[in-house]
């Protein structure tokens, strides 16, 4: 294959597709008006949890299965993958939530207080029960995006602001592709970045709550990311006080020492999703759309990149290929 493929959009999907095709010897070029990863892409605001089994609580089977490819893919790409598993806890009066979560997910084991203290001492003092998903992992999203971008540079992949005419195009523009994919919708998410050295966590922790569920991902050096609201709105700006207050309250409930943390950042963007919140690959003429990764960008981009590569190189129809032309 000698024809150069144009990849539009240098968020997590575009960078993963470019990386996968380059690794397989296919010449590509990236097109994005913003040359470097940054706040313009919704993957910039991601949590970076590679937690396919936890996600099984609310998502369908393909996410759980395809998400299991993610940790190895990121490690192969040279990104530091923290394979420490993840934890799910709940406050005393919401214990039933933990039982429900356990029933609806797999590959976890229950920890009592002493087992929890062994792996996460700061939580052992606060919680007497937890679910431990030992096969899960996490990465630092911004470092991962920067790394892929640098590697592509290193491999001589050109990055342009505008797309040339007539090439095969892989469209990875996320929500911006709504101009063609009219059944794509935005789901607003707000997040907060905190820093404190008074709490130590080695792995992502989910706090189940009937109204304000929260996850917290350690980024190292006392930095923690709190996420994330999920609001049916395509708005990509304006974090509200209410949302941020809920996130901060939940963090404080997880551990009171977060009360003294410094707020480094408040972020907001909208995730691209189809009606079933599952990803799709669509072909329209010479343009292949990879979109709808919803809250699973870093989890599913590896599997989707593999499918795109197999499709482009071998002609294998991807399982998430969608010929249902439901665009309105």
Partner 1 sequence: MVAFYETEVRSRLMLGTAQYPSPAVLEQAFRRSGAGIATVSVRREAGQDRAGAAFWDLVAQLGVHVLPNTAGCYSVREAVTTAHMARELFDTKWIKLEVIGHADTLQPDPFGLVEAARILTEDGFEVFPYTTEDLVLAERLLEVGCKVLMPWGAPIGTGLGLTNIYGLRTLRAQFPDIPMVVDAGLGLPSQAAQAMEMGFDSVLLNTAVAKAGDPAAMAEGFARAVEAGRLAFEADPMSPRDMAAPSTPLIGKAFLE
Residues that bind partner 1 (CB under 8 A): 58-60, 100, 103-104, 184-186, 188, 210-211, 231-235, 238, 240, 273, 275-278
From the CB of residue 259, how many other CB atoms can be counted at a distance below 10 Å? 11
Question: Please, what is the minimum distance in Å from the beta carbon of residue 11 to partner 1?
Answer: 20
Q: Which is nearer to partner 1, 189 or 218 (CB)?
A: 189
Contact 46, 297 (CB under 8 A): yes
Question: Please, what is the minimum distance in Å from the beta carbon of residue 184 to partner 1?
Answer: 8
Question: Please, what is the minimum distance in Å from the beta carbon of residue 231 to partner 1?
Answer: 7
Question: Please, what is the minimum distance in Å from the beta carbon of residue 138 to partner 1?
Answer: 23
Question: Please, what is the minimum distance in Å from the beta carbon of residue 54 to partner 1?
Answer: 14
Q: Which is nearer to partner 1, 196 or 233 (CB)?
A: 233
For the record, the structure tokens of 248 come out as 């901060």
Kindly report the backbone phi and psi dihedral angles of residue 305, in degrees, each rounded to the nearest multiple of 5, phi listed first. Answer: -65, -40
For the record, the structure tokens of 280 come out as 């799709």
Q: Which is nearer to partner 1, 250 or 312 (CB)?
A: 250
Contact 325, 206 (CB under 8 A): no
Q: Which is nearer to partner 1, 152 or 273 (CB)?
A: 273
Question: Please, what is the minimum distance in Å from the beta carbon of residue 221 to partner 1?
Answer: 33
- DSSP character string of 200-218: --SS-EEEE-SS--EEEEE
Which neighbouring-strand residues pair with 87?
A: 132, 205
Q: Which is nearer to partner 1, 277 or 305 (CB)?
A: 277
Question: Please, what is the minimum distance in Å from the beta carbon of residue 197 to partner 1?
Answer: 32
Q: Which is nearer to partner 1, 31 or 175 (CB)?
A: 175
CA-nearest of 80, 102, 47 to 295 is 47
Q: Which is nearer to partner 1, 196 or 240 (CB)?
A: 240
257 CB contacts (<8 Å, ≥6 apart)? Answer: 122, 196, 198, 199
- Quick one: which H or E segment has residue 263? strand 262-273
Helix, strand or coil, per DSSP, at residue 323? coil
Burial degree of 45 (CB within 10 A; 0-12, 13-18, 19+): buried
From the CB of residue 197, how many other CB atoms can be counted at a distance below 10 Å? 10
For the record, the structure tokens of 84 come out as 């420490």
């Amino acid at each position: 294959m000698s024809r150069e493929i144009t990849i539009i959009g240098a968020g997590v999907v575009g960078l993963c597709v470019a990386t996968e095709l380059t690794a397989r010897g296919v010449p590509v070029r990236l097109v994005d008006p913003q040359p470097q990863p940054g706040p313009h892409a919704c993957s910039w605001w991601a949590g970076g949890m590679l937690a396919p089994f936890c996600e099984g609580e609310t998502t369908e089977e393909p996410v759980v299965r395809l998400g299991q490819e993610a940790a190895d893919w990121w490690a192969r790409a040279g990104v530091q993958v923290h394979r420490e598993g993840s934890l799910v806890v709940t406050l005393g009066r919401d214990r039933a939530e933990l039982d429900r979560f356990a029933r609806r997910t797999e590959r976890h084991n229950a920890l009592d207080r002493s087992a929890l203290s062994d792996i996460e001492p700061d939580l052992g003092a606060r919680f007497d029960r937890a679910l431990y998903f030992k096969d899960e992992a996490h990465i630092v999203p911004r470092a991962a995006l920067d790394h892929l971008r640098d590697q592509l540079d290193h491999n001589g992949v050109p990055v342009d602001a505008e797309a040339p005419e007539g090439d095969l195009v892989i469209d990875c523009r996320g929500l911006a592709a709504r101009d063609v994919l009219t059944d794509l919708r935005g789901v607003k998410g707000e997040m907060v970045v905190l820093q404190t050295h008074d709490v130590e966590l080695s792995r992502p922790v989910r706090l189940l709550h009937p109204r304000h569920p929260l996850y917290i991902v350690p980024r190292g050096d006392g930095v923690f990311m709190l996420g994330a609201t999920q609001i049916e709105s395509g708005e990509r700006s304006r974090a509200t006080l209410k949302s941020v207050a809920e996130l901060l309250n939940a963090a404080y409930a997880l551990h009171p020492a977060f009360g003294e943390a410094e707020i480094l950042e408040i972020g907001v963007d909208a995730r691209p999703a189809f009606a079933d919140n599952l990803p799709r690959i669509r072909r329209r003429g010479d343009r292949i759309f990879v979109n709808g990764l919803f809250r699973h960008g870093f989890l599913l981009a590896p599997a989707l990149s593999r499918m795109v590569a197999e499709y482009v190189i071998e002609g294998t129809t991807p399982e998430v290929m969608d010929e249902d032309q439901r665009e309105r």
